[in-house]
Amino acid sequence: MEKVNVGVIGLGRLGMVHADHLVSLISDANVLAVCALDQSQLDYAKENFGVNTYQNYKEMIDKEDIDAVVIVAPTGFHPEMTKYALDAGKHVFCEKPLGLDMQEVKEMAEHIKAHPDKVFQLGFMRRFDESYRHAKELVDNKQIGDIIYIRAYGIDPITGMESFTKFATDNDSGGIFVDMCIHDIDLIRWYTEMDPVQTWSLGNNIAAPQLKEIGEFETGVATLKFDNGMVATLIGGRHAAHGNQVEMEIMGSHGWIRIAQEPEKDFVTLFTDAGVVRPSMQSFSERFEQAFITELKDFISNVKANRQSDISVEDGVKALQIAKACKESAETGEIVNIVLD
């Protein structure tokens, strides 16, 4: 296979970024078609990417000569779209999380396992970020000894509140733990190679009371306990006044690793009567641009080599089960035992 013919489903906050990367930066990918409900997004894609457009994903999959689909539609659609694409003989890249309903996700996982000849890759892109990868090497080489504790922050800028509120009003996002903290849950599993057994989680809407009306916590905090006594705490939120704040600290018996930076946009410093200001990154797509490109390059090369991704569907199922346990704990106020399949 010289080039991988691709169809993209979803052209919203992230889908347009993925489509643009596939068209402009990934030479082994050939985007033939895109699908979205929003006509203005389709018009933009037709004009800028020169692709065929659809409002019905089944029609796109049935009609177009594509090898793979990249699913960036709202989370609740991931299981049905993945199953349809696999049944049609397509390879699938699917954004995180796998889905919202656990039963649907388990059926999706069975479906994926029943199609071992098709590549399935899940969009845990932080595993492709150079800093997180470097940290993984250090952890695996025992540079910090045994992990004692992990702290993770994932806070979106408040400038994204309007688009998030629209997303969560139009669709079920899954809530802060399933939609946002799942990235850190996956990383914690990746670094520790262990699963937590218990969580006590909390949430609040102090910074965005309006999110309560749509059943969302703006801020979610989870404590995860592991069988060997190791502990992780993570906070997810959407309220950062200054920009996109994502960081992690891994404390070990012989040292620590911190994966963090002030979220500065670039090397510009502004000197005015307001003081000395470093403008900050305002979106996840800026912070993780390199990771988003690398993960799609990885997917395309996996398809070409007919090789399964390092991120397994079990990783997606377990991360979702853990995130759902955090959600249950925050909603009930109870400590929740985490039971994984």
Which residue in 7, 12, 154, 263 binds ligand NAD (CB under 6 A)? Answer: 12
Q: Which sign, positive or negative, has the C-alpha torsion 22, 56, 170, 50?
A: positive
Q: CA torsion 93→97→102→105, rounded to 10°? A: 0
Which residue in 21, 83, 90, 96 binds ligand NAD (CB under 6 A)? Answer: 96
Total number of residues that touch ligand NAD (CB under 6 A): 25
Which residue in 41, 121, 219, 282 binds ligand NAD (CB under 6 A)? Answer: 41
- Report if residue 291 touches ligand NAD, rule: CB under 6 A: no
- Report if residue 191 touches ligand NAD, rule: CB under 6 A: no
Q: CA torsion 70→76→79→85, rounded to 10°? A: -40
CA atoms of 3 and 25, how far apart (whole Å): 13
Helix (H, G, I), strand (E, B) or coil at 185: helix
CA atoms of 142 and 60, how far apart (whole Å): 48
The least CB distance from residue 153 to ligand NAD, in Å, is 15
End-to-end Cα separation, the chain, in angstroms: 37
The answer to whether residues 277 and 269 touch, using CB atoms and an 8 Å cutoff, is yes
- Report if residue 304 touches ligand NAD, rule: CB under 6 A: no
Which residue in 77, 149, 153, 200 binds ligand NAD (CB under 6 A)? Answer: 77
125 vs 325, beta carbon nearer ligand NAD: 125
Nearest to 202 by CA among 175, 179, 226, 184: 175
- Report if residue 167 touches ligand NAD, rule: CB under 6 A: yes
- Report if residue 179 touches ligand NAD, rule: CB under 6 A: yes
Span from 12-20, 106-114, 296-304, 325-333 in contact with ligand NAD (CB under 6 A): 12-20
- Tokens for 79, please give them: 């299981």
Q: Which sign, positive or negative, has the C-alpha torsion 173, 296, 298, 261?
A: negative
- Report if residue 79 touches ligand NAD, rule: CB under 6 A: no
Span from 35-43, 83-91, 211-219, 254-262 in contact with ligand NAD (CB under 6 A): 35-43
- Strands of 4-9's sheet in order across: 52-54, 29-35, 4-9, 68-71, 91-94, 120-122
Would you give the binding string for ligand NAD spanning residues 53-72, x where CB under 6 A is met? ----x--------------x
Span from 6-14, 189-197, 198-206, 267-275 in contact with ligand NAD (CB under 6 A): 6-14
Residues of this chain that bind ligand NAD (CB under 6 A) = 9-15, 35-38, 41, 57, 72-75, 77, 95-96, 123, 125, 167, 179, 284
